[in-house]
Chains A and B, each alone.
Chain A
Amino acid sequence: MRVKQPLTLPAAARVARPRRATGLNRSLGPRLMVAPAVIVVLALTLFPMLWSLQKSFYAWFPSRGATSTWVGLDNYLWVFTSERFWNSMGNLAFLLFFGVGAQMVLGTALALALYEGVGNARLRVLLLTLFLLPMMMPPIVIGDLWAFILTPQSGVLNFLLRQIGVPAQNWTGAELGMLSITITDVWQWTALPLVIAFSGRSSLPTSIYEAARLDGASRWFVTRRITLPLLKDLLVIALLLRLMDAYKFFDAAYIITRGGPGTATELPGLLTYLVGFKDFDIGRAAALTWVIGLIAVIVMQSLWNMLRTRRA
Chain B
Amino acid sequence: MGSRSKVSRRDVLKGAGAVGGGAMAGSLWTPRGGLSVVAQDAATPANQAGKLPVPLGEPRFQGVALTPTSDEFLGPLFEWYGDDLNAEAGLEFNETVLFPSYTEIESLMPELISGGELPYDLMSYSSVYFGDIVATGQVEPLDRYLDQYAGVEEYLAGVMPAYREFYTKSRGETYGLMCDGDVHVFHYRPSLFNDENLRNRYEQRFNTPLIVPDTWPQFAQTAQFFTEELKDKGIYGCQLQGARPFGFSFWLDIAAPLGVKYFSEDMQPMINTPEAVQALELMMELKRWSPPGTENFGGDQIIGNWQQGVVAMCDWWIDLREFSARANVPVGRDVNDTVMPGWEVNGEVARRSTMAFSRTFSIPANKSQEVKDAAFYAIYRLSHPDYSLYSCADPYCGLDPYMDIHYSDQAAELYVTGNPLRETADAYPENNGIFVGDLQAAKDHLAAGRANVEVGFPQPNWPGAAEYIDTLSLHVQRALAGEADAKRALDDAATEWTAIVERRGRVEQTEYYAGFVTAAKALGYW
Binds A, one of B158-166, B397-405, B451-459, B463-471: B463-471
A64 to B133, CA, bound (A): 9
> Quick check: B113 and A62 within 8 Å, CB to CB?
yes
- Asked if A203 is at the interface (CB within 8 A of a chain B CB), the reply is no
| Nearest CB in chain A: distance from B316 CB, A | 15
- Asked if B282 is at the interface (CB within 8 A of a chain A CB), the reply is no
> Quick check: A261 and B466 within 8 Å, CB to CB?
no
- Asked if B209 is at the interface (CB within 8 A of a chain A CB), the reply is no
Known: A64-B463, A65-B113, A174-B295. A261 touches B132 (CB 8 A): no
Note all chain B residues with C-beta closer than 8 A to A65.
113, 135-137
- Asked if B245 is at the interface (CB within 8 A of a chain A CB), the reply is yes
> Quick check: A151 and B474 within 8 Å, CB to CB?
no
| Nearest CB in chain A: distance from B244 CB, A | 6
Interface residues of A in 158-190 (CB under 8 A from B): 168-174, 177
> Quick check: B308 and A154 within 8 Å, CB to CB?
yes
> Quick check: B244 and A258 within 8 Å, CB to CB?
yes
- Among the listed B106, B295, B305, B478, which residue makes an inter-chain contact with A263, where contact means beta carbons less than 8 Å apart? B478
- Among the listed B137, B308, B481, B504, which residue makes an inter-chain contact with A262, where contact means beta carbons less than 8 Å apart? B481
> Quick check: A278 and B105 within 8 Å, CB to CB?
yes
> Quick check: B305 and A153 within 8 Å, CB to CB?
yes
Known: A153-B291, A154-B308. A260 touches B105 (CB 8 A): no
- Asked if B144 is at the interface (CB within 8 A of a chain A CB), the reply is no
Note all chain B residues with C-beta closer than 8 A to A259.
244
- Asked if B437 is at the interface (CB within 8 A of a chain A CB), the reply is no
| Nearest CB in chain B: distance from A248 CB, A | 18
A contact patch SS: loop
- Bitwise, A64-82 to B at CB < 8 A (1) or not (0) is 1110000000000000000
- Among the listed B293, B301, B304, B504, which residue makes an inter-chain contact with A64, where contact means beta carbons less than 8 Å apart? B504
- Asked if A289 is at the interface (CB within 8 A of a chain B CB), the reply is no
| Nearest CB in chain A: distance from B481 CB, A | 3
Note all chain B residues with C-beta closer than 8 A to A64.
135, 463, 504-505, 508
> Quick check: B293 and A153 within 8 Å, CB to CB?
yes
- Asked if B477 is at the interface (CB within 8 A of a chain A CB), the reply is yes
Q: Which of chain A's residues has its CB closest to B308's CB? A: A154
> Quick check: B483 and A174 within 8 Å, CB to CB?
yes
Number of interface residues of B (CB under 8 A): 46
- Asked if A139 is at the interface (CB within 8 A of a chain B CB), the reply is no
Q: Which of chain B's residues has its CB closest to A63's CB? A: B132
Interface residues of B in 428-470 (CB under 8 A from A): 463-464, 466-467, 470
- Asked if A59 is at the interface (CB within 8 A of a chain B CB), the reply is yes
Note all chain A residues with C-beta closer than 8 A to B2.
none
- Asked if A98 is at the interface (CB within 8 A of a chain B CB), the reply is no
> Quick check: B467 and A279 within 8 Å, CB to CB?
yes
Note all chain A residues with C-beta closer than 8 A to B308.
154
- Among the listed A169, A173, A280, which residue makes an inter-chain contact with B296, where contact means beta carbons less than 8 Å apart? A173
A116 to B243, CA, bound (A): 47
| Nearest CB in chain B: distance from A186 CB, A | 21
| Nearest CB in chain A: distance from B386 CB, A | 34
Known: A261-B478, A262-B477. A168 touches B243 (CB 8 A): no
- Asked if A264 is at the interface (CB within 8 A of a chain B CB), the reply is yes
- Asked if B482 is at the interface (CB within 8 A of a chain A CB), the reply is yes
Note all chain B residues with C-beta closer than 8 A to A62.
109-110, 113, 136
| Nearest CB in chain A: distance from B283 CB, A | 13
- Asked if A209 is at the interface (CB within 8 A of a chain B CB), the reply is no
Known: A172-B293, A174-B295, A280-B132. A260 touches B477 (CB 8 A): yes
> Quick check: B478 and A153 within 8 Å, CB to CB?
no
Note all chain A residues with C-beta closer than 8 A to B480.
261-262
- Bitwise, B248-273 to A at CB < 8 A (1) or not (0) is 00000000000000000000000000
- Asked if A281 is at the interface (CB within 8 A of a chain B CB), the reply is yes
Q: Which of chain A's residues has its CB closest to B508's CB? A: A64
A116 to B479, CA, bound (A): 52
Q: Which of chain B's residues has its CB closest to A78's CB? A: B499
Known: A63-B113, A261-B480. A170 touches B474 (CB 8 A): no
- Asked if A274 is at the interface (CB within 8 A of a chain B CB), the reply is yes
- Asked if B292 is at the interface (CB within 8 A of a chain A CB), the reply is yes
> Quick check: A261 and B481 within 8 Å, CB to CB?
yes
- Asked if A61 is at the interface (CB within 8 A of a chain B CB), the reply is yes
- Asked if B181 is at the interface (CB within 8 A of a chain A CB), the reply is no
Q: Which of chain B's residues has its CB closest to A259's CB? A: B244
A260 to B243, CA, bound (A): 7
Note all chain A residues with C-beta closer than 8 A to B484.
262
Note all chain A residues with C-beta closer than 8 A to B470.
274, 278-279
- Among the listed B113, B244, B467, which residue makes an inter-chain contact with A260, where contact means beta carbons less than 8 Å apart? B244
Q: Which of chain B's residues has its CB closest to A83's CB? A: B492
A66 to B132, CA, bound (A): 14
Note all chain B residues with C-beta closer than 8 A to A260.
242-244, 295-296, 474, 477, 481
Note all chain A residues with C-beta closer than 8 A to B482.
174
Q: Which of chain B's residues has its CB closest to A64's CB? A: B135
- Asked if B190 is at the interface (CB within 8 A of a chain A CB), the reply is no
Note all chain A residues with C-beta closer than 8 A to B300.
147
Known: A153-B291, A278-B470. A63 touches B109 (CB 8 A): yes
- Bitwise, A4-26 to B at CB < 8 A (1) or not (0) is 00000000000000000000000
Task: Give 14 pairs: A residue, B residue, CB < 8 Å, sorted on A.
Answer: A65-B136, A151-B301, A152-B291, A152-B293, A153-B291, A168-B292, A170-B293, A172-B293, A177-B296, A258-B243, A261-B483, A262-B474, A262-B475, A262-B477
- In the A-B complex, the 8 residue pairs with the smallest Cβ-Cβ separation, listed nearest first, are A152-B293, A262-B478, A261-B481, A63-B132, A174-B481, A261-B295, A279-B467, A152-B292
Beyond A153-B301, A260-B477, A281-B467, list 6 extra A-B contacts (CB 8 Å): A63-B463, A63-B464, A66-B113, A170-B292, A263-B474, A280-B105
